[in-house]
Structure 1
Amino acid sequence: MKAEIIAVGTELLLGQIVNTNAQYLSQELAALGIDVYFQTVVGDNMNRLAEAVRTASGRADVLIFTGGIGPTQDDLTKEVLAEVLGRTLYIDSEAMANVDRFFQGRGVPMTENNRRQALAIEGGTPLPNETGLAVGNALFVDGKFYVVLPGPPKEMKPMFEHQAKPWILEHVLTGEMPIYSRMLKFAGIGESALETKLLDLIEAQSDPTVAPYAKEGEVTIRVSTKAASELDAAVKLDAMEREIAARLPEYLYANVDEPIEKTILDLMASRGLTLSAAESCTGGLLMEMFTALPGSSAVFAGGIVCYSNEMKEKLLNVPHDLLEGDGAPGAVSAETAKVLAEQVRLTVGTDIGLSITGVAGPAHSERKPVGLVYIAISRRGSDTAVFELNLKGNRETIRMRAAKTLLYRLWRALQGG
């Protein structure tokens, strides 16, 4: 089963919006066993969009559209698709009622163009919009499957998960066994090194399949299998997970799709441990990773962004002669990282204190090179662990890698490694 994703919107072509929808949908369709062969981006133009629909219909079995279903005149997706398929458009009563309720609830009059958001294509299945107003559509015409979704990710993702995916399972994959997947999450190792460790499994894969995905600071292995039931799938997935875990026990931190900071928070919460952090070159990035997670306050008590030497001295009592003067190690040093981690732990009153200090760039600092970073972990009743990192990349990459490396080192420490 081949699919093509067609993203509609001139703003995508102009680079004003990043097409994250295509990434999400490609991953979701792959998990269903549907191969995405093409991704197309087309502007808000009737002729070019119609050409894109005809081209995709000739080479794909499933066409997924995102965008172009809002209230304005340049929202053309449903209109063009209906014309190409020889279908009419109509106002879906439930979708229209949703639009009416929205404007009545706000106490403002509805402009006539908002009726366009309730348009549906004849012979299709309207897909309700849980987080917006524009109704989606799913239909089968002349051996092809068409799914129309909104452009904003906050509307598109819930509609795909709760409306489009069940429709696809019922209408598109009727003769297929369902696909079950497990996400194995790794930290502290790069994609190429991990792939080398698993190369024989990846090259020999048949069932289950093994596929790596990387993003900054972590790697995911998706293990997938077709099975008649969840129990049958678990037998095969468990066996493959055990094989992979045996090869990489010091890097595999979870078998569910979650960031390492979530794993750490859950582990610390189960042990009744608390955490604080002092950040210099990362400027609060590490703390943001923790506090973005619901329930993090049970573990993460607080932290300090001590960017300047003055703040390091005033807020965390780092000795002046450690930071400045002839022969001083400087702010970017193992000595300073150690004091920062220890002092933030004592100041906030937590079981564990973390610190990051370094040179994120673009220029050197204290005559030290870009990418030189020191991280430290101070634990109540234990010696403080300090690590020197020599990171590559731009400022943003160095900051992210420093934070992720510290998270990995903390996870290893909690594991006893």
Structure 2
Amino acid sequence: MKAEIIAVGTELLLGQIVNTNAQFISQECAAQGIDVYVQTVVGDNQERLLSSLQLAASRADVVICTGGLGPTQDDLTKDTLAAWMGRQLLIHEPSMQAISEMFASRGIHMVESNRRQANMIEGSDPLHNETGLAVGNALTYEGTHFILLPGPPKEMKPMFMNQAIPWLQAHMTDEVPLYSKMLKFAGIGESALEYQLIDLIQDQSDPTLAPYAKEGEVTIRVTTRAHSEMEGERKIASTITKIQKRLGDHLYAEQDVPIETIVLELLGKKGLTLTVAESCSGGLLSDLLTSIPGSSQSFIGGIICYSNALKHKLLGVPMEVLEGAGAPGAVSSETAVILAEQLLVRTGSDFGVSLTGVAGPSPSEGKPVGLVYLGLAQKNAITQVFTLNLSGNRETIKLRAAKRALYELWKQLKEN
């Protein structure tokens, strides 16, 4: 079964609202074995909306619309579809009653336009709105199934999951759901990862491989069609084993989570603690770590030692290392090592990670943009220092440095 998604709303075209609905619907359709081939965004214009609906109906089994079900005159989805089909708009009495009761309970006069939210196309099935007022519609016309959903995600998601999916399941034939596993990699770029797996990617049939890149991380989605999770696991097992053998040093998770989650899990399981000293990353590494619930179990805290004065005062880096003729400078392996080791001395943590470098946009200390030194200190072990030559703008360099620090820490924890 093939599906198309039409998101309705001029605000989407203007970039005032991000279209997250299409992503959510596509993922849930895939789980049902429904392939989404096209996504369209159309403004609040009846002529253009009608053209989009007709085109989608000509090539898809299911057309899913979000938006345009509200009370105002520019909410045109039901009106447009009903006019094309030559059907009337009728009042769905349970929805109308709920709307009337809501206004009465708040002591607010209900204007006539609010009745539009209770409209449903003649011959359609109503989709109950658990969190809002506009009723959804589901109907079949000339062999194509139409699902009309509200635009606000808080209304759309429960309606789609609890109302639209059961309706679609009742109208589906023999679709086999997709089963996917997400493999997460760090410390390697998308191009290098693809090179390692090029034969698997080129020869893929079932299961399929799809790489996705984010700053500092790469994801491989391994997908097959299966009637159950057990069958899906069995079908993709050999492919995942091949990937593990080639890229095990970079594969940090077989689920869609950021590397900071896995680092904190490993620290927690081992009963170890971490502190960080950040210069060029400006607290970004600490932010990534504290964005994970429960991080305080293992992450003691961080010091943003941006200036040389704070590097010296808070973490004891000698001024003769930081400044002066012949000094290594703040951006140096020497400084990175001292920062990381002093974290252990002054906080008692098991691991200390430091980042010092040049995020740009201009060189510093005569050193190029993108040069970053990463220090990794551990109790009763020799401190490691890594020289990174990163590309990108200021924000990209900061993020890549922070993610690389997490990757090196993950490797150390895994080896231990």
* 2:41 alignment partner in structure 1: 41
* 2:79 alignment partner in structure 1: 79
* 2:195 alignment partner in structure 1: 196
* 2:98 alignment partner in structure 1: 97
* 2:4 alignment partner in structure 1: 4
Residue 55 of structure 2 corresponds to residue 55 of structure 1: yes
CA deviation after TM superposition for structure 1 residue 72, in Å: 3.8
Residue 272 of structure 2 corresponds to residue 273 of structure 1: yes
1:310 partner SS: helix
Report the AA paired with residue 313 of structure 1.
H
* 1:371 alignment partner in structure 2: 370
* Superposition pairs of residues 308-319 of structure 1, within 5 angstroms: 308-319=307-318
Whole-Å Cα distance in 2 between the matches of residues 340 and 323 of structure 1?
12
Q: Unmatched 5+ residue regions in structure 1?
A: none
* 2:328 alignment partner in structure 1: 329
Whole-Å Cα distance in 2 between the matches of residues 177 and 44 of structure 1?
36
* 1:66 alignment partner in structure 2: 66
Whole-Å Cα distance in 2 between the matches of residues 243 and 326 of structure 1?
53
Whole-Å Cα distance in 1 between the matches of residues 143 and 45 of structure 2?
26
* 2:108 alignment partner in structure 1: 109
TM-score by length of 1: 0.88
Residue 375 of structure 2 corresponds to residue 380 of structure 1: no
CA deviation after TM superposition for structure 1 residue 67, in Å: 3.1
Q: 1:117 to 1:226 in 2, by over 3 A?
A: same
TM-score by length of 2: 0.88
Asked whether the equivalents of residues 21 and 153 of structure 1 are also in contact (C-alpha less than 8 Å), the reply is yes
CA deviation after TM superposition for structure 1 residue 58, in Å: 1.7
Report the AA paired with residue 77 of structure 2.
T
1:58 partner SS: helix
Asked whether the equivalents of residues 225 and 233 of structure 1 are also in contact (C-alpha less than 8 Å), the reply is yes
1:36 partner SS: strand
Q: 1:375 to 1:133 in 2, by over 3 A?
A: farther
Deviations 1:1-41 (A, max 9, x none): 33322222222322333434444444554554444332222
2:282 partner SS: coil
Asked whether the equivalents of residues 31 and 177 of structure 2 are also in contact (C-alpha less than 8 Å), the reply is no
Whole-Å Cα distance in 1 between the matches of residues 203 and 228 of structure 2?
24
Deviations 1:30-67 (A, max 9, x none): 55444433222211222222222122222222223233
Asked whether the equivalents of residues 222 and 236 of structure 2 are also in contact (C-alpha less than 8 Å), the reply is yes
1:326 partner SS: coil
CA deviation after TM superposition for structure 1 residue 315, in Å: 2.8
Q: 1:287 to 1:102 in 2, by over 3 A?
A: farther
Asked whether the equivalents of residues 30 and 177 of structure 2 are also in contact (C-alpha less than 8 Å), the reply is no
Deviations 1:91-136 (A, max 9, x none): 46358638955995xx573754555555544444444556655554
Deviations 1:321-375 (A, max 9, x none): 2222222222222222222222334433322122222222222222221111122
Report the AA paired with residue 36 of structure 1.
V
Single out whichever of 11-20 and 351-360 deviates more from structure 2. Answer: 11-20
* 1:14 alignment partner in structure 2: 14
1:238 partner SS: helix
Residue 388 of structure 2 corresponds to residue 389 of structure 1: yes
Asked whether the equivalents of residues 180 and 225 of structure 1 are also in contact (C-alpha less than 8 Å), the reply is yes
1:378 partner SS: strand
CA deviation after TM superposition for structure 1 residue 211, in Å: 1.8
Whole-Å Cα distance in 1 between the matches of residues 96 and 268 of structure 2?
44
Question: Which of the two has higher C-alpha Rg?
Answer: 2
2:367 partner SS: coil
Q: 1:352 to 1:149 in 2, by over 3 A?
A: farther
Residue 415 of structure 2 corresponds to residue 416 of structure 1: yes
Q: 1:84 to 1:238 in 2, by over 3 A?
A: same
Q: 1:268 to 1:171 in 2, by over 3 A?
A: farther
Report the AA paired with residue 306 of structure 1.
C
Asked whether the equivalents of residues 304 and 344 of structure 1 are also in contact (C-alpha less than 8 Å), the reply is no
Deviations 1:117-176 (A, max 9, x none): 55544444444556655554443332212233444455545554555445444434x312
Asked whether the equivalents of residues 303 and 348 of structure 1 are also in contact (C-alpha less than 8 Å), the reply is no
2:328 partner SS: coil
Report the AA paired with residue 45 of structure 1.
N
Alignment root-mean-square deviation, CA = 2.9
Deviations 1:384-408 (A, max 9, x none): 2211111111122212211111111
Deviations 1:216-248 (A, max 9, x none): 221111112222333222211222211211121
* 1:320 alignment partner in structure 2: 319
Q: 1:385 to 1:77 in 2, by over 3 A?
A: farther
Report the AA paired with residue 181 of structure 1.
S
Report the AA paired with residue 143 of structure 2.
G
Residue 309 of structure 2 corresponds to residue 307 of structure 1: no
Asked whether the equivalents of residues 22 and 39 of structure 1 are also in contact (C-alpha less than 8 Å), the reply is yes
Aligned length in residues: 414
Q: 1:226 to 1:46 in 2, by over 3 A?
A: same
